[in-house]
Structure 1
């Protein structure tokens, strides 16, 4: 094969280096900066809804190979969706900018977040009994926040479709 027609390399592209929070050094001291943002408020809502407990009970049991629990990965994804809406491949980089404890993670666990791991956690969620999970969370929210059920309608059978559809002649 001539040099002009050489095949592209099939070597796997390397992952970008993990993003570390900004660090300052002076006088033998080290200061690590991390974002906090609205995480304390979101965490309070998550705590009050007991979502971590309900997810842990609903998801299939983990095996010994699991390095980051699917529950933790899903809760980080939820925080991301509420605060930033990064794509799944950017969740690890997003999480690295925040204080790990506010994400329910250790510093080492933040480094484990990647799109494959979050995707596997979503697979486990889809394999769970989601209607029962939704019912447990909704029941907890009603109780915790003192919601009156005459003011709330939870219809899990409604489907909405949005988008551009070709027009059909109805004649």
Structure 2
């Protein structure tokens, strides 16, 4: 028997149905509920709230948190999030309480647990991982310390560093906005598909050189990782190299180090070999910087070399003109 049209309620899935399906396949809701815990009177679990936050973030819409529930009006919330879930239940109070729970459980630990389950589910290879940091600029005024009325009651079982509020301050801005305050996101992704495996939020003025090794060690402890760690030149300091004993790593040696400049200058013509890519040459040299044996690969580009020589010639000509003027 056909149902009358007046009794049919039409709701949308859009592209969010695919996102919800992936979330269900990696069992994100169950993992979050296990780590955070569920109260008996909660109609929407913390895992379902996180699923809703992800769907909202991928919904091509930016809105304040107090309008969070309006995003789901007209959408199939029961099909997307869970049976019995309505847009009215996804209000800003519910979102705020869930965010507090994530903080108490430890955002880094929660993220890593989810990533570990997803990596195993989708068989992500981890022969190598890549570490880097990004700055997120924000607008508005931020207090340097929390008032007692704003303090969140923390769980004694959680990690101490997760409970400490980050400092939103000025620092080196990767997005070219030094006028704005910021915070830092340290991320480790897999070499296979750039899948995020680890995330840590830092102060806005955190120095990569001082935190990179700590991040790699935390990651290695949580993932039992034995592959190669890849990072930029911020990783290459004498202190970091000593701290990374027993780890496999690849990084770029900064030319600010005196021994690096000396070794590159000492490379003879016979030491260069043609690379597989036309216009490039490579030379392999050894180093024991920080009392650690290393293998350096030096790459020379013909185009960059000619450009550098041209620039040097211009500087010499400019200095010659200046000297001639002074002589006159």
Tell me whether 1:160 sits opposite 2:160 in the alignment. no
Query: In structure 2, how many angstroms separate the alpha carbons of the residues matched to 1:135 and 1:149?
Result: 14
* Aligned residue pairs, count: 138
2:20/2:51 contact within 8 Å kept:
no
Q: What is the deviation of 1:108?
A: 5.6
1:52/1:75 contact within 8 Å kept:
yes
- 1:77 corresponds to: 53
Secondary structure of 2:7's counterpart equals: strand
Question: What is the CA deviation profile of residues 132-151 of structure 1, one whole-angstrom value per residue up to 9, with x for unaligned ones?
Answer: 22222222222222222135
Question: What is the CA deviation profile of residues 33-87 of structure 1, one whole-angstrom value per residue up to 9, with x for unaligned ones?
Answer: 11110122101210222111111011144253x3432322221111111123433
Query: In structure 1, how many angstroms separate the alpha carbons of the residues matched to 2:66 and 2:128?
Result: 39
Q: Which runs of 4+ in 1 moved over 6 A?
A: none
Task: Give runs of aligned pairs for residues 24-43 of structure 1, distance below 5 A.
Answer: 29-43=6-20
Task: Give runs of aligned pairs for residues 3-152 of structure 1, distance below 5 A.
Answer: 29-62=6-39, 64=41, 66-83=42-59, 84-106=61-83, 109-152=86-129
- Return the structure number with greater strand share: 2
Residues 1:48 and 1:151: Cα distance change in structure 2 (over 3 Å): farther
Query: In structure 1, how many angstroms separate the alpha carbons of the residues matched to 2:17 and 2:136?
Result: 34
Secondary structure of 2:56's counterpart equals: helix
Query: In structure 2, how many angstroms separate the alpha carbons of the residues matched to 1:127 and 1:80?
Result: 23
Taking structure 2 as the reference length, the TM-score comes to 0.37
1:95/1:103 contact within 8 Å kept:
no
Query: In structure 2, how many angstroms separate the alpha carbons of the residues matched to 1:81 and 1:112?
Result: 18
Query: In structure 2, how many angstroms separate the alpha carbons of the residues matched to 1:94 and 1:44?
Result: 19
Secondary structure of 1:111's counterpart equals: helix
Segments of structure 1 that go 5 or more residues without pairing to the other structure are 1-25, 167-171
Q: What is the aligned-residue RMSD (CA, Å)?
A: 2.7
1:39/1:79 contact within 8 Å kept:
yes
Secondary structure of 1:160's counterpart equals: strand
- Larger mean CA deviation between 73-82 and 142-151 belongs to 142-151
- Between Structure 1 and Structure 2, whose CA radius of gyration is higher? 2
Segments of structure 2 that go 5 or more residues without pairing to the other structure are 138-172, 180-328
Query: In structure 1, how many angstroms separate the alpha carbons of the residues matched to 2:127 and 2:79?
Result: 35
